[in-house]
Each structure stands twice: as structure tokens, then as C-alpha cells.
Structure 1
Amino acid sequence: MKRREFIKLSSLMGAGAATSPAFLLGGCAAKPLPGTGTVTATPTVCDICFWKCAGHVYKEDGELWKITGNADDLHSGGRLCTRGTGGPGAYLDPDRLKKPLMRKAIDGRQTFVEVEWDEALDFVADKMKSIAATHGPAKLLMLNHGAGSSHFRHLLRSYGSDSRAEPAFAQCRGPRDVGFTLTFGESASSPERTDMANARCIVLIGSHIGENLHNGQVQTLAEALNKDVTLITVDPRFSVPAGKSKHWLPIKPGTDMALLLSWMHVLIEEDLYDRDYVERYTTGFEQLAEHVRSYTPEWVYLETGIRPEVIRETAREMAKAAPATVVHPGRHAVWYGDDTQRSRAIAMLNALLGSWNRKGGFYIPEKVDLPGYPLPSYPEPQYRTADAYPGKWPFASQGVTNGVIEASIGEDAFFKGWLVYGTNLPQTIPGIEQKLRDAADSLELVVVVETMPSEMTGYADVILPECTYLERYDELRNSGERHPSLALRMP
């Protein structure tokens, strides 16, 4: 088979793929209350989003019943959001992949055929050996998302490749983290290291907390609003947080940078910035002051539609509360193409306010000091991911998905195989369909590891069904927090 035809899995999965939404919900709610059996609880860490809230999985006679928050988890406030409590749906879904599938040609038509694990793994292993022998193991790329991918990264590094990319980097927080790292030498972290619990002024610019279900952060903002906190929301829409704000700035889309520069102009022009903090901890202040000199509120009004008096008043509100002021770094930071520079502007604004590593601003995240597992040394990769697109994105700390996809097209493509774990590229990378088809035609191996059929599975040579997060052990949650903690996931 020289070309990989896109295979729509739903046509091969019978009635399950045509199941009505009511039936899917009914499957999740088949047993809303426990009966007379034995109820047990095991710890878990939610994997529906990156917040990774700790919880308990309740089972009755071994059958999944419900998931609740772990009352001891400071990170999540002991609660789960609606997505977290809906976790059983991932486990109970009737359309789940159950057996390995392999692409085969039958009567001149490509289709997926169920096979045993040994056949699927032998096929993948033989292809990996061939790629390693012919091109080098670093030419096998992993595209991944989610905690479970860590196991597969161990596999790839043992094989001799550390080539990987996450759409969540370049498509979400990568430019933001680069912007903060270029300014402070550290990223804004994930979850964000914002000390909103102790803030006196919170600024949301393109960040709609309360609509995005980032659980602990939503709770913290709600609690902050019960105190004497000033909330400033910059959003073209009258969003949920806009409705709770002292100041709502309905900015023209695409002009955030102008507003940020004008806020810095006001802080410097009116001598409202934290002079002691700036003198002790920063370099380049004179250059910044000169750069923002011309960005007066009157000029920026023409760009943003925000009145000059509002720009000045909100800048003064920030300065009045500083250093307990958080100009939130946001999360999905990829908008207009100036995203890294816009994130740098947010970081510099916080620096002028003296809020970095200060109470009520940005806290210093801590982790539990754990010894590393004594793994054997990995072989040194012959290539790094960035070698696939030399000279591009020099500050990116991870592989850039668009770059690695383009580097997988053609007979002379840099990458020769893909291992795709838990990420549906057609739904995460805008306008990528044709390049994805071209890459699929060029690659010698495409393996997709998934729990459910997706657009991405249609390009695979082999589909390997994965456990949901409710059915496996994973590495301990040890993310940087205000209060360090560990959380265990177990089946």
C-alpha cells in the first residue's frame, strides 16, 4: 500500500458509532446510587485536563460508580469540576477501542481489521527496527498529550529518540511560557503560579476564568471576589468575569499589545511603578521607558477603543494594589501571531508592578523533593527535534507541531515514523488536513494510541487501544504549587 487512505472508523464499528446522545448519557448514569454491594474507594488524579485534580473513584462490587474530589487536596480545594465528575463516561463509553486494529488491503480497499496484540506489537517493532537501521531511531517522532504519554516517552528514549511535540505547547501556552522565560528566566508554570488568593487587584486580559473550568483557579477567583479585590477584565465579549468586574474594557480584537504598552506608559509617566523593585531586580528599564513613551492613552484609544481616562484609571488601580496585583498570564495564548511578544509585555507589566515572586502576585512554586527512579542511562539521540526545522523558533523549549508535520512530508522528509498518543491532530491544528494527508503518505509508520475512534485514527497503520486514566497507574502528581503535595493515581 503506497498511499494511506483515510479510514473512517465509525463505519466499521456497527451500532455503537451511531448511538444517540441519550444512550451515551444513559450508559454513564446507569447506576446513580449504590445498591447493597460492597463500596470501595481508590485514589486517582483526573486526566480530563491539565489541572490534575486529586479524587476518589468509588466502585460497588468492582463496578465503577462515581468520582468525587479528594478533600485533602489543596490544589483542587477538595472538589472536581463537571468534567472531572463526568470521568466515568470515558470508561463506560460504548464506542471505546477494545482490540488492536491494523490497516490491511482487502479486495483492493483499505480497511482496519481486528488483530491480536502480538501481531500488532510485532508489526510495530519490526517497523521501528527498520527505521532505526535505515535512518536512525531519532527519526521516529512522538506527538502526544496527557499524563499517560510519559510511559511512551520512556520507550522512545530507550529506543534512542527524544523527538516529540505536543500541540498543547505551540497551540496553547508555549508562546506565553517563552515570553515569561525571556523576561524572568522562568515560565508562568502549569498550573499558573498566580497568587490570586492574596491579591488585591486581578487583571484578566484574554483570560476568561469561570468559563474554562480550570478548577482550582475558578475557586480561587470566586473566593477573591468575596473579598475587597478589584477585578479588571479586558475582553471584547461581556464574559462571565466581565460581569463581575469593577472595570470591563471591551477592547477591539487584536489590539491587546497597544493597551499593555499604554498601561506601562502610564505607570512610568506618573511614577507609579515599583521603583525599588525595578532598580534591584531588573535591567533595561531605560530602554523600556523610551519604547513606551509614545504609547499615550490618547493614541492607544484610537487603536483599542478604550477611552484614555479608563486606561489611566485602571493603571492607577493596579499600582495602588501593587505588589499584590496579578496581571494574569492567561492560558490559551495563541491568537494573532504576536503572542510571544504580547506575553513578554504582560510579564514586563507585572515586573513594573513588582508582583513577580511577591505575595498577592506570583508565588514561588515548590515541589516535593523526590529521588529519581534509578533507570539505566538512555542512549544519546543522534538528532534533536529542532534539527527538523533549523533556525526556526530558537526559544521554543519543546517541539513545534506545525514544524514537525512539515518535516514529515516528502521522500526526503526528516521524520520517517510517528507515534501519536492521545492527541487528535485534525482537531487541534487549524487547516492541517492536506499537510496531514501528505505526511501520512510519506511516513513509513503511523501508530496511534487512543481510547476512542478519532479523525487521527483514520491515518494509522496500527491503532493500539489505551486504558483510560481510571484503569492504570501513572507517575505521581508532583506539580509546582504554593503548598507542595503528591497525588497518586491507581486503577
Structure 2
Amino acid sequence: MKWSTTTSHWGAYQVATGTDGALLVRPHPEDPAPSPLLGNVAAAARHRTRVAAPAVRRGWLENGPGPSDRRGREEFVEVGWDQALDLVAGELDRVRREHGNEAVYGGSYGWSSAGRFHHAQSQLHRFLNIIGGYTSSRNSYSLGTSLVLLPHLVGDAGAVLRRGSSWPSILANTRLLVAFGGLPAKNVAVTPGGVTRHASSAALESLGAAGVEVALVSPLRDDAPTSAAARWYPIRPGTDAALMLGLAHTLLAEGLHDRAFLDRYCSGFEDFEKYLRGASDGTPKDARWAAAICDVPAHAIVGLARRMAATRTLVTVTWSLQRIEHGEQPVWAGLALAAMLGQIGLPGGGFGHGYGSIGDVGDHGPDLRLPHLPQGENPVATFIPVARVADMLLRPGETYDYDGLRLTYPDVRLVYWAGGNPFHHHQDLGRLRRAFGRPATVVVHEPYWTAAARHADIVLPVTTTLERDDIGGGRRDTHLIAMRRAAAPFGLARDDHAILAGLARRLGGGAAEAFTEGRTVRQWLEHLYETWREDLVARGHDVPGFAAFWEAGEYVLPSGPEHRTLFADFRADPEGRPLDTSSGRIQLISEVIAAFGYADCPGHPAWLPPRRRPTGRHPLHLIANQPATRLHGQLDPGATSRDSKVSGREPIRIHPADARARGIADGDVVRVFNDLGACLAGARLSDALRPGVVQLATGAWYDPADDLGGLCVHGNPNVLTADAPTSVLSQGCSGQHAFVQVERHIGPLPPLRHTAPPPIVRRPR
């Protein structure tokens, strides 16, 4: 049996074909902590939800393009590849001629392939740029708020998000790690592009042995590794900024803040101090004030502040905290709190953002730009913040604010999506369904019959990473992987590159030559690798040629520095290495943001009461966090994800006291609902969350039953989360929280339809 190595966003692994033809999967031999998500790969590879052939929604095929509320509710008709490509090319040509390239939205947001060439987003954007451009999106659902805010505060978001202090430095120097939002180990198995050695998993397990005390600030007790022996502060969800301000006030009131650091390295502390003391609103932000909001006792707040000032302390904020209403505030307040301690730039101290959110934050692997497909330049300047896609489709021509700009939603007629599933990432899925009914045409590349495919007009089946040759590696991966094809394409599936090359040939005008540059896929892989290799060789590294790399199956990348401290250079020389801000220093007050005049994001970190609150009808605070059994919605049909279900539904955790009050037992199927929608889920009782909080992970494939009012019978929480921005500054996603009620489901369980393809009129093969 011959094993070959490949990689994925959940890590490198090896595959082989058994004597019975079944796909076999095992971890990479150098991985100290293989991801449990590998358990999804084999069962999903040939799952019956794979798209077998090009398919067109019957109404679009018979009546032509136009808005339709039948998307997601109508059968598909299989067609041949020539007909499918002719239809897509003709519609692209029509929309561009009649409405301009701005009327094409190149969605393509999502993780899709871990490969460097067969990266669906890069392929689609390259193609659309060549044919005149498209309306694009900015930022991400994961980090849309921080990517806008951090440049105002420290000049470079990438410094915080990609070059933060490394785990070896933290383990050696940090004595107290205050983790706002926790350090959920389930998330660090995942890294964009993959990782061969899961170092962050090992680091989290080493915290206790290294003598690092963890203060876990989260509604979920298991948001920290068990080996860390964390002290749990079961905060009321969404109130972290208030707790941070209470801690900051304690430092100020007791003279525990580092005035010399604030004077030399920060700008605006005097005004922030006035806010903490209540000069502007008459309300000091002291521990008693914070305790009333966040439900952490005042004496615990004071005690934590004193411990933070007495030892080397790292303040971390998970990405989840900026995916809430006013999500800018916990990030900004956390940075200000760390600045008051005066330890920014010192080994083991300061500020971090994203530890426990993803695997490469804190990883000390090499920081190298890997081979990548050039996308070219987009001739169309129009864009939207990525989480505003439903607004764009529903409200063309309306204006809105974003980061100091006044923008207008374009009138999009054609949505083209390749790689990613908006019905996973987006909020208020009932509203998104209505939005997807507005364009004239929706084209989707998909390996599976996800909700995105079911709500499309033309579905083009694409290969998965196991069905094509590619080159893979993550942002801090230790290896570059030769991803040799391990299985034949499913059905009539084609690579994204082949599909787009076929469209380019039909559109003419030299588009095909510009897109392919006359290269085959194998020639592209060799070209990208050798171009990358030349750069490394020029820097003194011994890198094998493509043929040797491909034969070996992997290349161990040059190592990066093991110990790294965020803003160490700035601390050592603030005049010679200033930050790229208006003052060259850390902005505790931003005159730029203040000048925007946004009521929901003032010019300093602040507590802003949420607009959405619990009610008597919807008293439970829902946390819609990342799943432990899959990456977002990817490979939900896989064995690991499937085994976590309750009666086929996504599990929802509920505190025993809340369950008892509702007559709910462990294993019951329950209805979770609010004014936006409802879903079914399987109850799991747990005292690892504070009473009044329920937790339902994202990523269950959206399965709406139209005969039951759109009830998602599978358990997707985004039928419950509001499609509202964090603030007008960033227009980021606020889908982490919602308020709901939970009740036992009574009566027969409705069938699950996402586990099979939609109705299809099949053509003979």
C-alpha cells in the first residue's frame, strides 16, 4: 500500500487506497497533536451529497435569468459541460454589456482549498479581473472588526494578528495570562493553508507545567485547556469591555499603572484617564460599576488587577469578542489595559489577539510567503465590507458609512461564488435567502450540495483537494507539501481552473491566453514553485528543484525565530521604529475615529450598552461559536462531525438548571427560537457554562423546512443571529451572540434533507 502526503486547513496528513478501494487516512508522522477533524475526510470524500454533474435550476433554465424566490425551493436539471459553460459565459457577457462589471459580485469568500494554486478565491478573482473586474469584498467574517480598528491603534493589523508573541516566549516568561474569551483548544487545530506540526496545541497543554497562571474570562469554563488549571471568571457574555475598564480603573486608583510607559509609548492617556474617572459622564468606571454589568464580583476584579500589576502579565482577547455588538471595544480596551501595565514589548507581557482562536497565532514556524497564484488588479473600485452582502443585494443604491467613507451599495445582477458557503458565514439566514432571490443569476462552484449550491441557478461541480495535484502549506507551516492527487474526480467534477479557462475561451478577446498564460496545471505548479525557489536561493537557502520536491513529497522550510515578542523593536527604539499611526505611538485615543462622529464607536475605548438584550420571551444568551468537530461547515457529512449529532441534529449545550426549568433532559431534541427564526437541536446538559447561557456551534448545514415556516431542522444557529454590524466603523460581523428561548420539541421529528442532493432531473451518462 502506497501512502502519499497532502495537507488541509486542519493539518497535513497521509492518504492511501485500501484493497477494498476505500480511502484510508492517517496523521503526518511529524505531527505531535493531529487534528480530530481528520476523522471527517474518508467518509466525506464520496458522500452522496457530492455534486456529480453541472446542474441548472429548472426555473432559470426554462425562463431565463431574473429575480426569483424559487432559489433553494426548486429542482435542478443536469446538463453537459458545454451547455453549462455556454450558459455562464453568455450570462457574464450579457450582464457586463448591459450593466457593467460592477454588476458582477465575485463572492468567493471562504476557506475552500488549502492548495496554493487550486485556491478557488484566487482563481475566480484572477479570471474576473482579466474580463474587466467585479464588485469585491473586504476583510473577513472572522476578523472584520479588528482589521479595520487595529490600523488606527497600532498602525498595522498584521503585526498583532500575524506576528504576535510566540508560544515559546510566553511559556518561558509569562506568569499570568488573562484570557478574555478564553483559550479554546478546539480552534488551534485549524490554520489557513494547513500546518504539519500542531505546535499551538502542545503549547496550550504546557501552560500549567510552565507555571503560567491562566485567568479564564469566559461564560464557558472549558474555553481553556484542562491542564492549565485556570481560574474561571464566568462573565456575563458581551461585557468584557466593562470588566477591562473596571480593571483599568483599579490600576489607576491604586497607582499600579506605568505612567512612564504611557507617556513615552502611548498617545491620549490623559483623555482616557478622564473617561475612567467619570469626568465626562459622572460615572467612574470602577470595580463596583463593572461588577454590576459583567457579574464578576468587585473584590475579584480588584484582586485580579493587583495580580496583573504584580507579575509578568499577557492580556489576550479572542477573535470571538470582536464578533459582537460594539466589537471594537473589547479589543481597544484590552490594548489600553495592557498599556497601563507597561509591559508591551517585554517578553511574556503585553497584548495578544487571537490566541486560542486559530492555530498560527503564537506559532513560531517560518514566516515565509509561499508560492501563490497572482490575481492581477481589479479595474472596478466598488467594494463592500464582506458581512454586508445581504444589505448590498436587498438595498442597491443606498448609502452607508464605513471607516470614514460614505459608500453606495452597487446594483448587483450576477453573483459568482467559488470556494466558501455564504449560508454558513452569514447571519439571519432567512434574510439571506430573500437577498439571494434578488439577482438575475447566481453561479456557484461546489463539490457538495451545500445550501449555497441549493440556492444557486447554475451549479458547477468542482474537485476536492484529494482529486488534483497542488502545492500546500500554511502561513507558519514548517513544511511545503506536494499535494499529489489521491483519488479520481467525483462524477464529472472539474478543477476551478479548468472551468474558468473554459469560460475565458468562450468570452474571447484574449481572456483565455491571459488567464492560463499558455500553461497546463503541471506547468503552473512548476512555475510557481521555481519562482518562489529562486527567491529563497537568492537569500542563501538550499531549496531543491521542482522535480526533486515533487518526488520527495515535501520540503522542510527554513526555520523562523523561536522567541518573538510583539512590539519589542518599538519598545527598544520608539523614535527610530515608530508605529504607523498619527503619533507614531499606541493610540489610546484616536482623533481620526473621533472625527468620524460615529455614535456606536467613539474615539476611545468605552462601555457601550448593547442594543439587543434578553427579554422575557427570549431570556437565554446564545453563544454561536466555532465547532469542535469540523472547520466551519466543511465536511459536516464526515464521521467526526456526524458522531457529535443528537438524533441527527447539531448539539446545543444548556445548563442543568435551565434545562430543568424547561423540562428538558439530556438527548432531547429541542426547538431554539427568537423573532428571526428557529431551529431544532439536540440538548446536551453541561455545568461548564454559566446559567442563562446556551451554546450552539456554527456550521451545521442549513436545512430549512419551508412547510414549517423555514425551521432549520438541522440546527444552524445563524437562523437566530442578527444581520447587524458591530458598528459603522468596521461594518463587521456581530454573529457570535443572540437571545433565544429553548423548549422541548413535541411530536414527530421532521426529516433531514441536507444529507441527500436536492431533486434533480438526471441525464444519462
Distance 2:218 2:428 in 1: 26
Question: Would the aligned equivalents of 1:139 and 1:417 in 2 still touch at CA under 8 Å?
Answer: yes
Aligned match for 1:104, one of 36, 58, 64 = 58
Return the alpha-carbon distance in structure 1 between the equivalents of residues 396 and 427 of structure 2. Answer: 25
The alpha carbon displacement at 1:357 in A equals 4.8
Per the alignment, residue 206 of structure 1 pairs with: 181
SS in 2 for 1:132: helix
The within-5 A match list for 1:112-151 is 112-143=76-107, 144-146=109-111, 147=113, 148=119, 149-151=121-123
In structure 2, the residue corresponding to 1:248 is in which secondary structure? strand
Q: Which residue is equivalent to 2:325?
A: 337
- 1:367 equivalent in structure 2: 367
Which amino acid in structure 2 is aligned with residue 352 of structure 1? Answer: M
Whether the 8 Å contact between 2:469 and 2:484 is mirrored in structure 1 is: yes
With 125-134 and 245-254 compared, the bigger mean Cα shift is at 245-254
**Which of 26, 40, 44 is 1:67 aligned to?**
26
Distance 1:264 1:474 in 2: 50
Q: Are the counterparts in 1 of residues 214 and 229 from structure 2 also a CA contact under 8 Å?
A: yes
Cα pair 2:101 2:134 within 8 Å, conserved: no
Say if 2:177 is the partner of 1:180: no
Deviates further, 116-125 or 350-359? 350-359
2: CA distance, partners of 1:238 / 1:409: 40
SS of 1:39 mapped into structure 2: coil
Q: Aligned match of 1:160 in 128, 132, 146?
A: 132
CA offsets, 1:133-173, max 9 Å, x none? 2222232112220143222222222233253348x823x32
For the residues of structure 2 that align with 1:301 and 1:317, how far apart are their CA atoms?
A: 18
CA gap of 1:332–1:157, structure 2 versus 1, over 3 A, is: farther
Alpha-carbon distance between aligned partners in 2 of 1:195 and 1:292, rounded to the nearest angstrom = 32
* Count, aligned residues: 422
The structure-2 alpha-carbon separation of the partners of 1:163 and 1:475, relative to structure 1 and needing over 3 Å to count, comes to: farther
- Post-superposition Cα deviations, 1:255-289, rounded to whole Å, max 9, x if no partner, equal 21110111222233334344454333221122222
Aligned ranges 1:236-315 → 2 under 5 Å: 236-241=219-224, 244-293=228-277, 294-315=284-305
Deviations 1:96-139 (A, max 9, x none): 11211112249999521112222212211111111222222232
Unaligned runs of 5+ in 2: 64-69, 114-118, 191-197, 278-283, 353-361, 398-409, 486-765
Whole-angstrom CA distance in 2 between matches of 1:489 and 1:354: 46
Aligned to 1:169: 140
| CA–CA distance in structure 2, aligned partners of residues 356 and 162 of structure 1 | 42
**Alignment check: 8 A CA contact 1:68 1:80 kept:** yes
Query: Structure 2: how far apart are the matches of 1:411 and 1:310?
Result: 50
Q: Is the 8 A contact 1:411 1:442 kept in 2?
A: no
AA aligned to 2:2 is V
Q: In 1, Cα distance between the equivalents of 2:126 and 2:133?
A: 10
More deviation, 456-465/263-272: 263-272
SS at match of 1:333: helix
User: Which amino acid in the other structure matches residue 368 of structure 1?
Assistant: L
Q: Measure the CA separation in 2 of the matches of 1:60 and 1:319.
A: 59
User: What is the alpha-carbon distance in structure 1 between the residues aligned to residue 273 and residue 418 of structure 2?
Assistant: 46
Kindly state the Cα deviation for residue 460 of structure 1 after the two structures are TM-superposed.
0.8
Unpaired runs of 5+ residues, structure 1, are 1-37, 72-76, 387-398
CA shift digits 1:198-224 (9 cap, x unpaired): 232222222351344546433321112
Aligned to 1:408: 393
Shift of 1:459: 1.8
Aligned equivalent of 1:381: 379
1:200-239 equivalences under 5 Å are 200-212=175-187, 214=189, 216=198, 217-239=200-222
* Distance of 2:376 and 2:383 partners within structure 1: 16
Give the % identical residues.
23
1:83 aligned partner:
37
**Contact 2:103–2:411 (8 Å) recurs in 1:** yes
The alpha-carbon distance between structure 1 residues 306 and 380, as it changes in their structure 2 partners (threshold 3 A), is closer
Structure 1 residues 410 and 345 mapped into 2: Cα distance closer, same or farther (>3 Å)?
Answer: closer
1:80 Cα deviation (Å)?
2.1
- Residue 278 of structure 1 contacts residue 285 of structure 1 at CA under 8 Å; is this kept in 2? yes
Q: Residues 59, 341 of structure 1: CA spacing in aligned structure 2 closer, same or farther, 3 A cutoff?
A: same
Aligned-partner Cα distance in 2 for 1:118–1:190 = 44
In 2, Cα distance between equivalents of 1:314 and 1:280? 26
Distance in 2 of aligned mates of 1:321 and 1:488 = 46
Instruction: Write the distance in 2 (CA, Å) between the matches of 1:255 and 1:308.
Output: 14
Evaluate the alpha carbon distance shift between residue 196 and residue 162 of structure 1 in structure 2; reply closer, same or farther with a 3 A threshold.
farther
Q: TM-score, normalised by structure 2?
A: 0.50
What SS does the aligned partner of 1:169 have?
coil
CA contact (8 A) 1:451 1:466 kept: yes
Q: Are the structure 2 counterparts of residues 259 and 457 from structure 1 closer, same or farther at C-alpha, using a change threshold of 3 Å? A: same
Aligned residue identity for 1:145: G
Find out whether 1:41 has 2:4 as its counterpart: yes
Aligned-pair distance for 1:429? 2.2
SS in structure 2 at match of 1:231: strand
CA distance, structure 2, for counterparts of residue 459 and residue 470 of structure 1: 26
CA shift for structure 1 position 486:
4.3
Which AA in structure 2 matches 1:184?
Answer: V
For residues 370 and 477 of structure 1, do their structure 2 counterparts lie closer, same or farther at Cα, with a shift above 3 Å needed?
closer
Contact 1:261 1:295 in 2 (8 A): yes
Superimposed CA distance per residue, residues 227-279 of structure 1 (whole angstroms, 9 cap, x where no aligned partner): 10110011223335286544211222332111011122223333434445433
- Pick the structure with more helix per residue: 1
C-alpha distance in structure 2 between counterparts of 1:462 and 1:488, whole Å: 32
Secondary structure of the equivalent of 1:225? Answer: coil
Equivalent residue letter for 1:46: S
Q: Is the 8 A contact 2:184 2:222 kept in 1?
A: no
**One-letter amino acid of the structure 2 residue matched with residue 260 of structure 1:** M
Q: Counterpart of 2:357?
A: none
The question of whether the paired residues in 2 share the 8 Å contact of 1:274 and 1:353 is answered with yes
Give the equivalent residue in structure 2 for 1:433: 430
User: Which amino acid is 2:28 matched to?
Assistant: G
Task: Kindly state the Cα deviation for residue 296 of structure 1 after the two structures are TM-superposed.
Answer: 1.0
Per the alignment, residue 444 of structure 2 pairs with 448
Compared CA separation, residues 364 and 67, structure 1 to 2 (3 A): closer
2:215, 2:183 → 1: CA distance?
11
1:209 maps to amino acid: P
The Cα of 1:369 is off from its aligned counterpart by: 5.2
Q: 1:407 to 1:205 in 2, by over 3 A?
A: same
Matched residue of 2:450: which SS? Answer: coil
RMSD over aligned Cα, in angstroms?
3.3
